[in-house]
Amino acid sequence: MTDAEGGGNLKVRLAEDLREAMKARDKVRLGAVRLLAAAVKNREVELGHALSDDEFVQVATREVKRRREAIEAYASAGREDRADIERQEQAALEAYVPPALSEVEVEELIDEAIAATGAAGPGDLGKVMGQVMDRAKGRTDGKLVQAKVRARLGAGASGS
- Tens digit of pLDDT for each residue in 68-127? 999 999 999 999 999 999 999 999 999 898 888 888 988 999 989 989 988 888 888 888
Query: Do 47 and 122 have their domain in common?
Result: no
- Residue 4 forms part of a structural domain: no
Q: Are residues 64 and 92 in the same domain?
A: yes
Determine the pLDDT at residue 99. 85
Q: Which of 48, 69, 96 is the last residue of a domain?
A: 96
Structural domain boundaries enclosing 136: 103-154
124-128: long-range contacts at Cβ-Cβ below 8 A with a sequence spacing of 24 or more?
124/153, 125/149, 125/150, 125/153, 128/153
Indicate whether 64 and 88 sit together in one domain: yes
Q: Using an 8 Å Cβ cutoff, are 59 and 36 in contact?
A: yes
pLDDT in tens, 21-38: 999 999 999 999 999 999
Q: What is the pLDDT of residue 92?
A: 92
Confidence check: pLDDT of 39 > 90 = yes
Residues of the chain with pLDDT > 70, as a percent, come to 91
114 and 72 within one domain: no
CA dist list (Å): 53 to 86, 127, 129, 146: 24, 27, 24, 27
**Percent above pLDDT 90 for the chain:** 45
pTM as predicted: 0.69
Q: Which DSSP symbol is given to 122?
A: G
How far is the CA of 128 from the CAs of 145, 150, 151, 153, in angstroms?
10, 10, 12, 9
At 8 the pLDDT is 59
Residues 89 and 140 in one domain: no
Rounded-to-integer distance, Cα 105 and Cα 93, Å: 23
Here the CATH number for the domain that contains residue 78 is 1.10.1510.10
